[in-house]
Chain A
């Protein structure tokens, strides 16, 4: 752990958080905020991107396989972009509002779509860069 690594994580996290706020706000305003589509879109798109970046690291390596890229893009930006705590709070709020089915649907959709997206991103990157 170096000062440089911390600075990269802070920088990536700053822009990741702002991107999340922008994307989830945009989706929420467009589709409505009764179901947390914004957070779902953020987490699924983050999973797609992290899968693609993992594919990039796997097939290209080099600078992408180094600590600088990892700290900035994976740990900083995507860590700041995706969110489990917002997902869990919104699921709790659905349950507290008596929307048990929607709460369950949010949980299943989030987990399922994120895992599907990470696989899609990874295999797409491997194929495109092969």
Chain B
């Protein structure tokens, strides 16, 4: 139950970050929505890789499973198939 909540909250925040990045890239910078999707997916993949390495068995950070799900949930979200 706690893990589901952590995933949901992480996903909600990740979705919002993606939405705001889209506004920044499309409305403010004037680039195509394809750039917004590409940027967010590449950045999300970078962050999830970084986080996985840091919190892995021989990583530098020790986090509990709920925290891990929260962060993974958030950045797993930075990855839409569609961006306005």
Contacts and interface: CB of A to CB of B under 8 A. Distances in A.
Interface stretch (A14-22, A29-37, A58-66, A98-106): A14-22
| Prevailing SS type, chain B contact patch | helix
A107 interface: no
B49 to A, nearest CB: 6
A108 to B, nearest CB: 17
| Prevailing SS type, chain A contact patch | helix
Interface residues of A, number: 40
Contacts, number: 125
A124 interface: no
Contacts of A13: 11-16, 77
B44 A78 contact: no
A22 B4 CA distance: 8
Contacts of A78: 80-82
A84 interface: yes
A88 B48 contact: yes
Interface string B37-76: 0000100110111001000000000000000010011011
Interface of A: 1, 5-6, 9-18, 20-22, 43, 46-47, 50, 54, 70-71, 74-76, 78-80, 82-89, 92, 114, 118
Given A1-B23, A9-B19, 12 more contacts: A6-B19, A9-B12, A20-B11, A22-B4, A46-B81, A78-B81, A78-B82, A80-B12, A80-B15, A84-B78, A84-B79, A114-B81
